Structure 1
Amino acid sequence: RVGPGAGMAISVTSTDWLEVERQLEQKELELLKKHGVDVPASHLEGYKYTPQTRVVDKQSWDVVPVPARTFRCGSYNWTHKVVNFEVGEGIAYITLNRPQANNALNEEVLQGLSDACTELHTRQDVRVVVLRAEGKMFCAGGDPRSFQEAASMSEPDSRKSAVGLMKFLYYIQCLPQFTVGLAQGSAMGTGLGLLAACDIVCTVSNARFLASEVKLGTCPATVAPVLTSKVGPAFAKRILCTGENLTATTAKEMGLITDIVDDELDFSKYVEVICEKITLCAPLASARSKRLVQNVSGQPLSLQLMTYTGSQLADVRISDEAVKGMVAVQAKTKPFWAENAVRPLY
């Protein structure tokens, strides 16, 4: 108020206070100078806090998939027995081969899957990847021994192990090739995560799908991210929170399964049709489209998202594939990638 009882008010902002502090500091410096003390302009630098860590707002497209395990062998010197890895003309097959244990995921199986995926991340000649299994079950989830080992782990080690498995599923999900999951039998636990990481999944009609961790007093945390991105939060809650034993039809309605066949002998024709379609698609454009869908899924329509998608389109438009593809259209001929057919091995 101005004057006692004047009833008149003025507003003071933070800028005003900063100006008052600046003037007071200036007067203080002038008084010190009169007494022979010369204070340099940088005298407060030593008292200012400079953060050592820079906080960056990362988006999904900034997260680079990396292998959770050290690479040991590839298709040229394959040594794993519980996982088979075969590469043909434009196609690769990864086969779980531990039928005596219902293809449960132990360290040896995970290492084999990681080695195959590490090679595939660098193979531009491979355009389709088929994930399948031998035996009655597709995958029984984690090996029971791994649960016992996890129970004896310290909290940091247990967390590191869980993060490593989630990174592994993300690594599969980010393969540049079009991935086809073939479930010749039922899948449980982490086995659901393997199928959810595939782009499309075909199963036999009598297969069942189950995540029963909650019935054992634990949480299916490692498969939650990849499963939720596949079926959405509502269906993911139903699968993970109720431990429901899903039929193939129900799993298809949820989006976990793409197609159902009567017998696994029908898988050959199914893969053949997929290969015919992929043959007509430019490899780089197909890989970029897959990555684009994965990165924009669940994201709010923001300026960052539109800038990202716009930059992707601008980059692809000037690629060698786009240029030669347009030339092929004008010449009414097949583009070069369609001349090299993707040929199934089985």
Structure 2
Amino acid sequence: ELRVIFIKSAGRIWCAGGDPKDFQAAQKMESEGRAADNSAGAQEFANRLKYVNECPVPVVALVAGPVFGGGVGICSVCDMVVCTERAAFQLSEVKLGVIPATISPYVVQAMGVRNARRYFTTGEPINAATAEAIGLASEVVKDVKGLEEAAQKICDNFTLAAPHAVAASKALVFGVGGKEITPELVDYTAAQLASIRVKGEAVVGMKALLAKQKPDWAKKPLKVKL
């Protein structure tokens, strides 16, 4: 059973962003009157971002190098981003005459409107410390070894967390995030608790707590595989 997903790079650059050849291909499609084909390519990336964002399994980005353009969007759809001190993030689209459109909902949500207005329009690099300060990164570690240690700590945390409760908690964040606290929202949260506390994991978890034992999902420690 999949409990946590890590995304890391194989090379020095974590993500270089969109391929310039793809942009040229899109321009050619437009010039040939194939706007629908051009739109389909952009839509495919948007769909992939949405899929990762809504993945019920926690997704963690382990960043040890530069991240450009769409890569910042990939980081923004992850539940956590752990980066090294040498990592850097850059929304470089404006320097190429384009805009970070498909990634914008997630990046704005991660760093906030005020910061997005700055970094979307300037294309300036964001160092690791700043990324953490504005919410783009969750944690900064010294080096790659620190990334591996952080990843194992994350695994240790998810060892103790019931898998379906984790998925439901992530869905809950989407359900209440940014919403006005209305009577309807209060009813929604009460219904969520009422529903889950009578289901399998809650029953097992409470029994284990009373018996001073580990629940089934916590008996086998998760080991990171990078």
Q: What is the TM-score normalised by the length of structure 2?
A: 0.92
2:69–2:92 Cα contact (<8 Å) kept:
yes
Distance 2:82 2:57 in 1: 17
Distance 1:211 1:174 in 2: 23
Deviation at 1:301, TM superposition (A): 2.1
List gaps (5 residues or longer) in structure 2: none
2:6–2:60 Cα contact (<8 Å) kept:
yes
1:333 is matched with 213
2:204 maps to a residue whose letter is: K
Distance 1:207 1:281 in 2: 29
Question: Are positions 1:201 and 2:81 aligned together?
Answer: yes
Deviation at 1:345, TM superposition (A): 2.1
2:120 is matched with 240
Distance 2:90 2:50 in 1: 20
| Within-5 A mapping of 1:273-284 | 273-284=153-164
Q: What is the number of equivalent residue pairs in this alignment?
A: 222
Quick one: which of 143, 148, 152 aligns to 2:19? 143
Deviation at 1:240, TM superposition (A): 1.3
Query: 3-state SS of the aligned residue for 1:130?
Result: strand
Quick one: which of 154, 163, 171 aligns to 2:43? 163
1:170–1:226 Cα contact (<8 Å) kept:
no
1:192–1:227 Cα contact (<8 Å) kept:
yes
Bigger Rg, structure 1 or 2: 1
List per-residue Cα deviations over 1:219-252 (Å, max 9, x = no partner): 1101101111222222222221221211111111
Query: 3-state SS of the aligned residue for 1:152?
Result: helix
State the structure with bigger RCO (CA 8 A, min sep 6), 1 or 2: 2
Q: Percent identity?
A: 38
Query: 3-state SS of the aligned residue for 1:341?
Result: coil
List per-residue Cα deviations over 1:282-311 (Å, max 9, x = no partner): 111111101211232222223443333222
Distance 1:295 1:170 in 2: 15
Deviation at 1:273, TM superposition (A): 0.8
Distance 1:166 1:302 in 2: 31
Quick one: which of 157, 177, 182 aligns to 1:302? 182
1:253 maps to a residue whose letter is: A
